[in-house]
Structures are given as structure tokens and as C-alpha cells.
Structure 1
């Protein structure tokens, strides 16, 4: 058990389980994009740890950029996406792979995918470490999913509770 701010979290996905699945995902992306030059767009702040480990296992030439979006307040999705830090690279004619930490309502990813397509991306795929199918409010195509989880609040491995808990090396779930 770990305490983050005023909440207690229980172990949920162990470090070794995360590492193993992320290596597998890197292999899948490498096979799918062999001989191509995708642009990876990492969604900050949450996806930084996942992206770092994932990209170590991707063996195709690629570029990496970062974007920062927000749709959360404390433990609840606001349902509104705010773009905070935009993408500097052009995506016109590029194959784009968005790296996200968690997809729950789908609102953030839907908005980002729409924005990238509107900017002329040749294709946009999403890779997410965690997906909460029960929480979806809009349809979203996720090409690569690390783990499907129940609709519970999680922290660790980049995911936070009010900015805290990102540095945990495993995923923890809010205790009942």
C-alpha cells in the first residue's frame, strides 16, 4: 500500500509485468512500421515513463515530439480537453503514433486525433499503456493497448493524483 496525498492505493500492476508488456508492444510497433519513419507524439505529463521505456524497444527510425493536454481535475475527468502545450513539428503527410498513458473517456484522444488529422497527418494511431473500456464516452480506435483495466482510479508509472505519485515504478489502484 502507498499513500498519495490524502488517499491510499493498493498494488495493481507490478513493475515486471509492465516491463514485459511494454517490450512486447515495442516489438509490435517495430514490425508494423518496419522501413518507415513515424512521428511519435508523447502526451505529457503522464506518458513520459511509458514512452521512454516503449521507445527503447522500437527499432525503426523515428522522430519524437511532445504535446501536453489536460482533461482531469483530481480523480475525475472534466470531460473538457484543454491544450496547454502544442506540437511544434509539422505532421503534414506523416504517419503519427500518439503515446498516451491511459484512455478512459476517450475524449482527450478523440480530440487529439481529430486535431492531428486536421493538420494533414497521413495516419494517426494510438498506443496506450492502460485502457478503461467501461469509461468510454466516445468511440476511439486504439491500435496498441498495454492493459485493459476496470474503471478505477490508478496512479504510478507516470500517472498521478493531483501531480503526485508519477514516480512510482508500478501501477497502484485507489483502495476501497
Structure 2
């Protein structure tokens, strides 16, 4: 599906597939340099990070392992509920591991702050964060993010793993929806 297929539902493309691909290549190079000679565990946050995790991991030249965790603080709407629940925990023991959390987007930072604390309590050697998108103006708590793809305005975005009502995750770009789609 591309932008033309969305018709009137798409307000604008914020980041093209090409922009995302270029930035993920740059981020992978930074990660390779920073973790040279180390055994890194990528922890993807389901479901939004699926696209980012897949594409970023394929661009890395270092050997990595992957695991997935599902946490939720979102309902079906466009705002964080602030309540964090573990929907799927990791299968991997983190003791002594270098952990790199891979996120699609950091909005308020509330969920991620909780997740970092939870993972650090499991005895890893390190816990760092890589995210495709960050909304600095929406931050409610400070979260130290080592790798940021793009800082974006505080708009609700979809595509490249991000959804609205479980739709639009498969879009190869990041865009904003027309207000009539979500009643805005």
C-alpha cells in the first residue's frame, strides 16, 4: 500500500520509506561501532516495533540475538492511558547481557521509563534504547535515548508499525491521518 491507496484518509506523509531506510542504515552503523565485540540482545517492543526491529537488525553487521516483549499503555485511541501492563514477557535471561530496546515511537516516555526500570532490575550489563521516532514536546518523563531516528512534532502518526485501531501498521512510510478518520 502506498500513499495514493489511502485516498482521503491520509493527511500527509511525514517520513518517506526512503528517509526511514537511510536513517536506519545510519543508526545501524552507530550501533555496530558502539557494540563492537559485544553480544547484544535486541528487545523489540510489540507490536509497533516489528518493522523497525526487522529492518534495523538486517542492517547490523554485528551478531545479535532478538527477543520480544509486549507492554501496553494504549487503548484503541490516540492518547496514552498511563497504565503499563506486560502482555508478553521476554524468554531470555538478561543477566550480564547488553540489552538494546528497539522502539517504534517514544511519546510521553511513561511506558518506556517503566520498561527500562523493569529490565534493569533483571541484572543486565547495560540497557540502552533505539527508537525510530521521538516526540520531545510530548515527554512527561525524561528517558535517556541513545539512538533516535527522527524527532517529530506531537502529532498522532501511523505507518511503519504504528497503528490507529490496529490499522495502517503495514504502511511503508510514516504519516498523519485526516481528522475525519479518528474524529479529530
Q: TM-score, normalised by structure 1?
A: 0.94
Cα distance, 1:61 vs structure 2: 1.6
Could you tell me which residue of structure 1 aligns to residue 119 of structure 2?
Answer: 116
Look up the SS of the partner of 1:119 in the other structure. Answer: coil
Cα distance, 1:3 vs structure 2: 6.1
Verify the 8 A CA contact 2:45 2:68 in the aligned structure 1: yes
Cα distance, 1:120 vs structure 2: 0.7
Measure the CA separation in 2 of the matches of 1:21 and 1:142: 16
Verify the 8 A CA contact 1:101 1:130 in the aligned structure 2: yes
Aligned residue among 157, 165, 173 for 1:162: 165
Cα distance, 1:12 vs structure 2: 1.0
**Unaligned 5+ runs, structure 1:** none
Cα distance, 1:28 vs structure 2: 0.6
1:101 is aligned to 2:108 = no
Cα distance, 1:76 vs structure 2: 1.0
Seen in structure 2, the aligned counterparts of structure 1 residues 21 and 119 have a Cα distance that, compared at 3 Å, is same
**Unaligned 5+ runs, structure 2:** 180-184
Aligned residue pair count: 174
User: Root-mean-square deviation (CA), in Å?
Assistant: 1.4
Measure the CA separation in 2 of the matches of 1:122 and 1:114: 14
Larger helix share, 1 or 2: 2
Cα distance, 1:175 vs structure 2: 3.5
Tell me which stretches of 4 or more aligned residues in structure 1 moved more than 6 Å: none
Pick which of 140-149 and 114-123 moved more.
Answer: 114-123
Q: TM-score, normalised by structure 2?
A: 0.91
Could you tell me which residue of structure 1 aligns to residue 21 of structure 2?
Answer: 19
